[in-house]
Amino acid sequence: MTEPSDETRRRFREALERKNHATHATGGSHEDAHAKVDHAHGPADHKREFRRKSG
């Protein structure tokens, strides 16, 4: 396997810095975020019934 060139390393580092800057500019990390959907599966006490067709 070949060693990446200094130019390639520099470009990847710059891209990572841009990404990190964009993340911090929009309000922080994903760990602070909450789910976008609340109660996605409906009430927990509701159990779906499956019945065979009778004819």
Let me know: does 29 contact 23? Beta carbons within 8 Å: yes
Whole-number Å distance between alpha carbons of 26 and 19 = 11
pLDDT of amino acid 48: 74
Whole-number Å distance between alpha carbons of 23 and 15 = 12
Residue 48 in tokens:
């779906």
- For the entire predicted model, the pTM comes to 0.40
pLDDT of amino acid 9: 93
Q: Could you list the pLDDT tens digit for every one of the 55 residues in the chain? A: 677 799 999 999 999 999 888 766 666 556 666 666 766 666 666 677 788 888 6
pLDDT of amino acid 39: 64
Per DSSP, helices labelled H in 3-54 are 6-25
Which of the 8 DSSP states describes residue 41? Answer: T
pLDDT of amino acid 7: 92
